[in-house]
A and B are shown apart, each in its own frame.
Chain A
Amino acid sequence: DTGVSQNPRHKITKRGQNVTFRCDPISEHNRLYWYRQTLGQGPEFLTYFQNEAQLEKSRLLSDRFSAERPKGSFSTLEIQRTEQGDSAMYLCASSFDTDTQYFGPGTRLTVL
Chain B
Amino acid sequence: AQSVTQLGSHVSVSEGALVLLRCNYSSSVPPYLFWYVQYPNQGLQLLLKYTTGATLVKGINGFEAEFKKSETSFHLTKPSAHMSDAAEYFCAVSDRRDSSYKLIFGSGTRLLVRP
Q: Are B105 and A99 in contact (CB under 8 A)?
A: no
Most buried by A among B9, B43, B108: B43
Within 8 Å by CB of A95, from B32, B42, B101, lies B101
Q: Report if B104 contacts A (CB, 8 A).
A: yes
User: Is A44 in contact with chain B by the CB < 8 A criterion?
Assistant: yes
- B51 at the binding interface (Cβ < 8 Å): yes
Interface size on B, residues (CB 8 A): 24
Q: CB distance A48 to B90 under 8 Å?
A: no
Known contacts A48-B100, A56-B100, A42 near B92 by CB under 8 Å:
yes
Q: In the complex, which of the residues B45, B107, B108 contacts A103, with contact meaning CB atoms closer than 8 Å?
A: B45
Q: Bound complex: CA of A41 vs CA of B38, how far in Å? A: 12
User: Complex: how many Å from CA A102 to CA B102?
Assistant: 12
The answer, among B90, B102, B108, for a CB contact under 8 Å with A33, is B102
Query: How would you classify the secondary structure of chain A's contact residues: helix, strand, loop or mixed?
Result: strand
Q: Check B101–A43 contact: CB distance below 8 A.
A: no
Chain B CB within 8 A of A22 CB:
no
Nearest CB of A to B97, in Å:
12
A44 and B44 contacting across the interface, CB-CB below 8 Å: no
CA distance A102 to B90 in the complex (A): 14
Smallest CB separation, A80 vs chain B (Å): 24
- Residue B94 interfacial (CB < 8 Å): yes
B49: interface (CB < 8 Å): yes
Interface residues of A (CB under 8 A from B): 4, 6, 31, 33, 35, 40-45, 48, 55-56, 91, 93, 95, 98-106, 108
12 contacts across the A-B interface (CB closer than 8 A): A33-B102, A42-B92, A42-B105, A43-B90, A43-B103, A44-B105, A45-B102, A91-B44, A100-B46, A102-B46, A103-B36, A106-B42
| Extra contacts besides A43-B103, A45-B104, A91-B44 (10): CB < 8 Å | A33-B102, A33-B103, A42-B4, A43-B105, A45-B102, A91-B43, A99-B32, A99-B51, A106-B41, A108-B41
